Amino acid sequence: QVHLVESGGGLVQAGGSLRLSCAASGRTFSSYVMTWLRQTPGKEREFVAAISRSGGSTYHADSVKGRFTISRDNAKNTVYLQMNSLKPEDTAVYYCAAKETRYSGTYDTALNDYDYWGQGTQVTVSS
């Protein structure tokens, strides 16, 4: 089992940047593919980005491609989401999630496949 804690959210003006962190504790972090997703009240969860166990493969949703970057540091048991050129429509609670897998080079964009979730961090982008 792995325990996830997000941090780094806050209030930022449109065009600004934030870096979210998701710290993991528990079993071997490098055994997990990781994802970031977001949710606003009354809406479905939205996939944002995913990263393979090694960090060598990543995938970003079209809505954030070119602005957000997912990365990980397995030595620090942490996955990051660098968010640049933020827009008001990026306002949401951002969550990280983990899924254990034996496949090292793949990521997973299906949110229902993930087993462990953090508590979320609020990101608010003002216009």
Residues in the chain: 127
Q: Specify the residue for token string 């990543």.
A: 58
**Lowest-confidence region among 28-37, 56-65, 107-116:** 107-116
Q: What is the DSSP string of 8-77?
A: --EEEETT--EEEEEEEEES-GGGEEEEEEEE-TTS--EEEEEE-SSSS-EEE-TTTTTTEEEEEETTTT
* 26: CB partners within 8 A, 6+ apart: 1, 2, 3
For 27-54, the pLDDT digits (tens) are 799 999 999 999 999 999 999 999 999 9
Tell me the pLDDT of the chain averaged across its residues: 95
Q: Tokens representing 15? A: 């065009």
pLDDT confidence of residue 1 = 84
